[in-house]
Structure 1
Amino acid sequence: MKQFDTNEFQRLSGASSKLLHDDLAQELLEKTAREKLTPSQETSQFFNDLQGIWVGNKGWNIIALPSQGSIPKSHGDFKLLVVPYSETLSVSSTGAPARNRGGSLDQFVAALEYHQRVFNKDTGEALHVENGMFLNLSQIVNNGSETQPVPEFNVGRSGTIPHGDSIMLLGKPPVAEKGAPKIQDISSLPPDIGTEQPGYLTPYNDRNHGVDVTNPNATLRKDLELQQAAGFEILNTRTLIMDSTPTGAINNIPFVHQHANATRMHAVFWLEKVKNRNTGQEFDQLQYSQIIDLEFHLKFGQDNPDNLITWPHITINTMVKQ
């Protein structure tokens, strides 16, 4: 078995939580840090601890693309890219909440600005740049005084990338639990290619990549197993799930829409408090799994140009706050 590098999971310096002083729930958070939190408080605490600089070199990018010479709205071949990556994610408060005025009701949105930079782990080549915001949508008040119930989708994430795509994901309050996260299986294979085509999906069977290509979340679980074997314990986990459906959106430039349209994005974040049992040190760890559905190539047996194969584009990583 490959020797596990414990330094990859050790925090370097800095406080484990930064405060959103303008957040309307902050006073309650300070009083009830170890008590059961309301959905609004859980969200605020998640935003507090998400601030900082996160670094990880355990990332994997798995994406199928139209192969050279193929026409996206016809039957064609695809190219599967499996690329290891390192990443830096910087998250910081934008300051005082933005006030959305709605007449009898106002909403105060506490926002975090994020900057994501991803590089090929083997070559150092830049792979991905993304800028956006995490939005705490919990605080809705009546005429600036009486707090209203937390909306069903109280977390938002907006983002833009140079390919010409922009996202708006929405989610419900984070869920807190003791111990390690329950990371579910996912599949990177297209769920429906039409009539059976033996050998068409063979590229997904290559076992030489260092990642479970067909079920990338199994690699995230493996990271935790190696970490536990090296003397680390996950004390608690907060899970945030976000999606562009049913009320969010993805917008793409015409070229992307015509050649490999991104139709949906689903993202799960696991914010973990980790303890090094050998030293007693505690640090913050962030794992994520993201799926973007791309549509290109006709399903086999179909001739309707709108009946296209859906190809999951998956990215995963395990990161530590610096």
Structure 2
Amino acid sequence: MRTASEQLDALRGQVREVAPAVTGDEDLGPFKLLPGVWTNEPDLAGRGWNMIALPFGPPQGATFRPAYRLLLHQYNEKLTFSLVDKAVPNRGIAPANGGVTPHADQLLVALDYEQGINQLVGEDFPASGLQGDPGGAIHHEPGLFLNMSDPLNEDVVDIARLATVPHGDSVLGLGTASISDGPPSIPPINALPLGVNQDIEKNPYLAPYKHFHDNLFRGLFDPLDSTALLKAANEGVDIVRTTKLEFDSTVATGGISNIPFIVRQANASEMKSTFWIQEVRREDGTIGLRLQYVQVVQLDFFDRFDGGPGRIKWPHVSINTLAKVEDAPVPSPAGYSVMPS
């Protein structure tokens, strides 16, 4: 990967343009392997999983009335990176020196993406009848990945993710990228709500989590070990190199803005996501590409039981393992024409 100064030098000689993204383009920095189409099908079908707690009023006569339900999905995904916007200028100045105030413009490279997810199976507890049907759409997200270089070396972040979600959420996650040899180290994730006693054996309020811990969703997904299936997907795979992208809405100026209903009912307050772009050696010696991610969005609703500030934080966890199936540039999903320089 280029240093920040090398990236700025390369972009200063360019005129801003929007064009089809090309795999291997050094201007994309840590995103250079992403352009194209990533999917679960045909070889990694059903490797997408998510879990979300939702406010819920159980029907009259229900024996368990926690006012929430835990919904789990197994899903297939299509993730497309299609356009790059290069040499995007953010105008700035450096501190005055000798009576002269020099220019210090930031130049960004933006890679757009569109994420579409369809469920294979949904199940919730307590059962609501609202779990959805096989094949139904459960997520659509257009967004941008930004490769950022700071001419003044003042920022601690160098990548960003801008995401817009049709529920009424707009997310800015900031972070850093790194490259290492070999497979990724995937950490465990605590998917239990924060602000309650997390002992699922002794706290009846967590009965939905205990239900899916005792009866694994699809016989595979355990809410108490929500990244285990990512690790399992890497067993026996010859991962030569990994590019790690970390985005966090709580870092620096990141954040989430939501429509009023969301804020009142189940406020999306934080997002943390990690992507691992993997260069995989196939049996014939050629290199293929896989992409894994884990994302945790905190949904805040109901008063805490521990006396802490704010509301209970309910982790909405999503994981997936995808393969790159198309390397060539694809038309913009939004349908607008590529903009010449």
TM range (shorter): 0.7 to 0.9
The equivalent residue for 1:126 is 137
Q: Matched residues in 1 for 2:48 and 2:114: separation?
A: 16
What are the residue-to-residue correspondences of 1:118-267 with 2, within 5 Å? Answer: 118-122=117-121, 123-138=134-149, 140=151, 148-149=152-153, 151-172=155-176, 174-193=177-196, 198-205=203-210, 206=212, 207-209=215-217, 210-225=220-235, 228=236, 232-247=237-252, 248-267=254-273
Task: State the Cα distance separating 1:26 from its structure 2 match.
Answer: 6.3
The correspondence of residues 276-315 of structure 1 with structure 2, limited to 5 A, is 276=282, 278-300=283-305, 307-315=310-318
Structure 2 counterpart of 1:318, one-letter code: T
**CA gap 1:291/1:106 in 2 versus in 1, 3 angstroms:** same
For normalisation by structure 1, the TM-score amounts to 0.76
Separation in structure 1 between the aligned mates of residue 179 and residue 306 of structure 2, nearest angstrom: 46
CA distance in 2, matches of 1:67, 1:262: 17
Change in 2 beyond 3 A, CA 1:192/1:301: closer
Structure 2 counterpart of 1:300, one-letter code: F
State whether residues 137 and 151 of structure 1, in contact with CA within 8 Å, keep that contact through their aligned partners in structure 2: no
Q: Which residue of the partner structure matches residue 91 of structure 2?
A: 101
Assess, with a 3 A threshold, how the Cα gap between structure 1 residues 135 and 194 changes in structure 2: closer, same or farther. same
- In structure 2, what is the equivalent of residue 117 of structure 1? 116
Unaligned runs of 5+ in 1: 1-22, 28-40, 141-147
Match for residue 96 of structure 2?
none
CA–CA distance in structure 1, aligned partners of residues 85 and 268 of structure 2: 32
Distance 1:216 1:42 in 2: 34
| One-letter code aligned to 2:85 | G
Change (3 A) 1:178 1:68: same
Distance 1:171 1:262 in 2: 19
Equivalent residue, structure 1, for 2:31: 47
- 1:245 to partner: Cα distance: 0.8
The alignment of Structure 1 onto Structure 2 pairs a total of residues equal to 267
TM-score by length of 2: 0.72
TM-superposed CA distance for 1:45, in Å, is 3.5
Does 2:89 match 1:83?
no
Q: Distance in 2 between matches of 1:96 and 1:176?
A: 22
Q: Select between 252-261 and 210-219 the one with higher mean Cα deviation.
A: 210-219
Q: Deviations over 1:194-239 (max 9, x none)?
A: 69872211221323312122221111001112xx1xxx30011111
**CA distance in 1: counterparts of 2:198 and 2:296, whole angstroms:** 24
Structure 2 SS opposite 1:211: coil
Whether 2:324 is the aligned partner of 1:321: answer: yes
Of residues 125-134 and 56-65 in structure 1, the stretch that sits farther from structure 2 once superposed is 56-65
Structure 1 residue 249: Cα displacement? 0.7
The one-letter amino acid of 1:319's match is: L
2:187 partner letter: Q
Note the C-alpha offset of 1:281: 2.6
The 3 A distance-change label for structure 1 pair 295 and 42 is: farther
Letter in 1 for 2:173: L
Is the Cα–Cα contact under 8 Å of residues 287 and 318 in structure 1 kept in the other structure?
yes
Mapped to 2, the partners of 1:159 and 1:203 lie a distance apart of: 30
Q: Tell me, yes or no, if the aligned pair for 1:25 and 1:44 is still in contact at 8 Å.
A: no
Aligned counterparts, 1:33-44, within 5 A: 44=28
Aligned-partner Cα distance in 1 for 2:84–2:27: 16
Deviations 1:165-201 (A, max 9, x none): 00000002x1211111000011110132169872211
Q: What is the CA–CA distance in structure 1 between the aligned matches of 2:240 and 2:291, rounded to whole Å?
A: 13
Partner of 2:231: helix, strand, or coil?
A: helix
Query: 2:53 matched to 1:64?
Result: yes
> For the residues of structure 2 that align with 1:68 and 1:176, how far apart are their CA atoms?
47
The 8 Å contact of residues 175 and 251 in structure 2, kept in 1 or not, is answered as no
**Structure 2 unaligned residues grouped into runs of 5+:** 1-6, 12-24, 60-64, 94-102, 122-133, 326-341
Identity of aligned residues (%): 36
Q: Which residue of 2 aligns with 1:10?
A: none
Tell me if structure 1 keeps the 8 A contact 2:192–2:198: no
Residues 257, 61 of structure 1: CA spacing in aligned structure 2 closer, same or farther, 3 A cutoff? same
| Contact 2:216–2:222 (CA under 8 A) maintained in structure 1 | no
| Helix, strand or coil at the partner of 1:68 | coil
For residue 25 of structure 1, report the CA deviation from its aligned partner.
Answer: 6.8
AA in 2 matched with 1:208: L
